[in-house]
Chain A
């Protein structure tokens, strides 16, 4: 974080190059690779998290000691991320009812709500691959 007197901002250039590369990689993973839907989703989400980290640490100076703000910015980002995870995963977990009913074998709810929530990803694994490209 001490490069603010250098003429060439190495850190920014590296960060920029990395984020372009990661974007292309994510696009290729989603549209060009032959991975299954679950793998695609997990890996591109991980790539997105890495990119967010690049922005935070290389561009936004989240842990800069000159700021005299200690760990608070980092702390807010971290807890924000935790909460984001709770919100998204929690909502999907809770709102996917209709699938969890294990009574009688009819499962007619499955049809009406097939696309809501994470379960849909698994349901449609097969066709997803073909329609992707």
Chain B
């Protein structure tokens, strides 16, 4: 392979990307060396098994990915603003919508939410870490290396260009030769391992590590949604693993699963992909529901309305999510009967979702709403999501879907649910838990600016797309015809509004880092309801000095009423904590290079590094490190200074 085949050439935009990557890398290396931070980086971050630090790393990576996916989106919107734009050519446009979709779902939405879960869930249930801290670090590095592998594709080897759904036979070896599609397969495969492991980890954590006496139906609703999400992850991700593996076998080893030759069945890919893909949608929306519930309760200063109904609604949605996958390809021609069955199951999801919406409204009834930025994101979610939801029901009506399918109506719908649901929740949750993570709040005034730009931009961007879809504009076209221009211009303006909103948000983070007042109390918003607010800020690495007994939901409200804390000196005992370890990052680095070898079909490289990965697993098996104990005196010292006693 020649060097000019290895690096992507010929695109000024990509050269720009290469230069900026090189500059940023050099800058980071320089800063780390100049300030002598290498040791700190290794000890405090790269080898950490602390769920809070891992969560922070997840969220930072997700924000970077949001930026990357957002730049893709901006470029698409520029290209589509006017007819006959020549900003991007067809091939480049194809690559960009593919990476936009993949990055946003797999490398932005999921890690962002998993990051929040990492930080919040153990704190909410009164646990000192995840059930398997080592595995948690492994998950993070597998996600990060998977994301890296996928992202380098645009400078090395070329990006995948068959859409984030990668339908065969288009994505097969014949019609998409070269490494691009392999990057998609291996990037997703690598990060998928981590997601599955996180699912298992969170399930065990929630099932086994709750504070004494906390019953399942006393868990905070975000923890509930995390538990159900983990359940979906455990049962859905293996499907993706297999589907990706089969396509890898097709592309690299000449198997015939989804090919046109050898009686392969291209539609089987779509079938498997959506058997994972639909539950995946709920993996990114259910935690969002949980976040909104927490934020709304806190700032409405009221108990969640219909707690049990909310939990059962989540469970029902999770169950239904596994039996609706065909609505993604109603037009495949499976016949009226198949389509009828899946049409009805799809529309049924609206029922529990509606129950959730009404219960949030019920929570607002007779409440005392405090207008913080986190609350504004949560409130903006309700009407926006309803628009996305009702159009979802319209799409679920199979015979009408023949007209909506693959058009901008669909594009508008899923952006309405995924942005108004997931992205709003990410912002809301980040702002809400920010003081717990970093010890200071985000500036509210700048936050509101970013909120308004983003939300108004969002509606301006996507609402017109319903109509341009009804006017016959299919998704994934790289240029528009003059009839579609007015609505597309509006849409592009909206997209830039969202871009500005995001930029302000980033500015807000930097500004607040410098100027915000440091938190003194653990209960930053004064209205905290769940256990995470019972810990001091910054949270000690062991989270809870003593674990309170829980006998109600909204545990912290009860503790406050009774004047109890999580620091009862007479009950202190040594706390057992795991040691940091460099194994996870090394193991995943090996697998990263093995995957890279597979992408370019360099078998020697793949096998060599795979053996390296296996050796790391053997090392782990012989690792009998039992961690260490934090002595009572030290806990006392830490807690006293953190609580200002």
Contact = CB atoms under 8 A, between A and B. Distances in A.
A, B from the same assembly: yes
Interface of A: 69, 72, 76, 79-80, 83, 86-87, 90-91, 93-95, 97, 100-101, 116
22 contacts: A72-B207, A79-B235, A80-B235, A83-B235, A83-B322, A86-B323, A87-B239, A87-B275, A90-B275, A91-B268, A91-B271, A91-B272, A94-B326, A94-B334, A95-B265, A95-B268, A97-B332, A97-B335, A97-B338, A100-B335, A100-B337, A100-B338
A113 to B, nearest CB: 9
Contacts of A86: 322-323
B333 interface: yes
Nearest to A102: B335
Interface in B113-162: none
B267 interface: yes
**Chain B contact patch, size range:** 20 to 34
A93 B332 CA distance: 13
B17 to A, nearest CB: 40
Nearest to B208: A69
Contacts of A79: 231, 235
Contacts of A80: 235
Contacts of B239: 87
Judged by DSSP, the binding face of A is helix
Judged by DSSP, the binding face of B is helix
Interface of B: 207-208, 231, 234-235, 239, 265, 267-268, 271-272, 275, 322-323, 325-326, 332-335, 337-338
Contacts, number: 41
Contacts of B272: 91
A95 B322 contact: no
A94 B338 CA distance: 7
Top 7 nearest A-B pairs (CB, nearest first) are A100-B335, A97-B334, A83-B235, A94-B326, A94-B334, A97-B333, A91-B271
Nearest to A91: B271
Contacts of B234: 76
Given A95-B271, A100-B338, 4 more contacts: A87-B275, A100-B335, A100-B337, A101-B335
A101 B235 CA distance: 33
A97 B336 CA distance: 10
A119 B231 CA distance: 33
B334 A100 contact: yes
A95 B274 CA distance: 13
A90 B275 CA distance: 10
Contacts of A94: 271, 326, 334, 338
B267 A95 contact: yes
Contacts of B265: 95, 116
Contacts of B333: 97, 101
B197 to A, nearest CB: 15
A97 B332 CA distance: 9
Contacts of B275: 87, 90-91
Nearest to A79: B235
A93 B271 CA distance: 11
A90 B323 contact: yes
A38 B275 CA distance: 27
A74 B337 CA distance: 34
Contacts of A83: 235, 322
A11 B272 CA distance: 39
Nearest to A76: B234
A86 B236 CA distance: 12
A79 B323 CA distance: 13
Contacts of B268: 91, 95
Contacts of A72: 207
Contacts of A101: 333, 335
A97 to B, nearest CB: 4
Nearest to B322: A86
Nearest to A112: B263
Contacts of A93: 338
Contacts of A90: 275, 323, 325
A54 to B, nearest CB: 24
A22 to B, nearest CB: 27
User: Which of A79, A80, A94, A101 neighbours the largest number of chain B CB atoms within 10 Å of its CB?
Assistant: A94
Nearest to B267: A95
B214 to A, nearest CB: 15
B163 to A, nearest CB: 21
B119 to A, nearest CB: 25
B113 to A, nearest CB: 22
A38 to B, nearest CB: 21
A62 B267 CA distance: 37
Contacts of A91: 268, 271-272, 275
A90 B271 CA distance: 9
